Structure 1
Amino acid sequence: MMTEQEGLKRDLHLRHMIMIAISGTIGTGLFPTSESTIATAGPGGALLAYAMIGLWLVFVCQAIGEISTLLPLPGAFNAWGARVFDEAFSFQMT
């Protein structure tokens, strides 16, 4: 059994966070799906849509940052769901 001292090292540098953000952006299909978005909404509409979603995501990331500061639990979303609501709700979040 691992003691609390032998757990995972919690240390992310700025370069780690930047690479996680870039891989998350590319991994969501930003480039492959841009063609259909531009075809449907036009170039201006696509730019406006991406800007609106980007702004919305800033608020979501701020909220996640606040929650993770308030409840610094290993397991993030699942642990937060179990702590705030119920174990069954936490299971549904997986």
Structure 2
Amino acid sequence: EFTAAQQYVAIAVYFDSEDLPQLAKHFYSQAVEERNHAMMLVQHLLDRDLRVEIPGVDTVRNQFDRPREALALALDQERTVTDQVGRLTAVARDEGDFLGEQLHAV
């Protein structure tokens, strides 16, 4: 989620530079949403007195030749994050942790 947030900021900045303010606004908003999701996961771990290690974020892409490239990357990233959350939900259910139901809101 932290990497997704940073990638959305990079996409938003690209759209700002291309004078596409509505797309920029959307991706700035998405960046905040992804960061909030990450913080929900952190808080969940803290609430269970678990040790939390915040990883560095993966490299984000900052350059795009066309708006379509930025949108395709965003779609691919959403699919990746959705898959990761799905796997996390399955593990939570297997462990008897009700995080799974909470993650559907994410």
TM-score for the superposition, normalised by structure 2: 0.34
TM-score for the superposition, normalised by structure 1: 0.38
User: 1 or 2, which has the higher helix percentage?
Assistant: 1
Structure showing greater Rg: 1
Q: Which of 1 and 2 has higher RCO (CA within 8 Å, sep 6+)?
A: 2
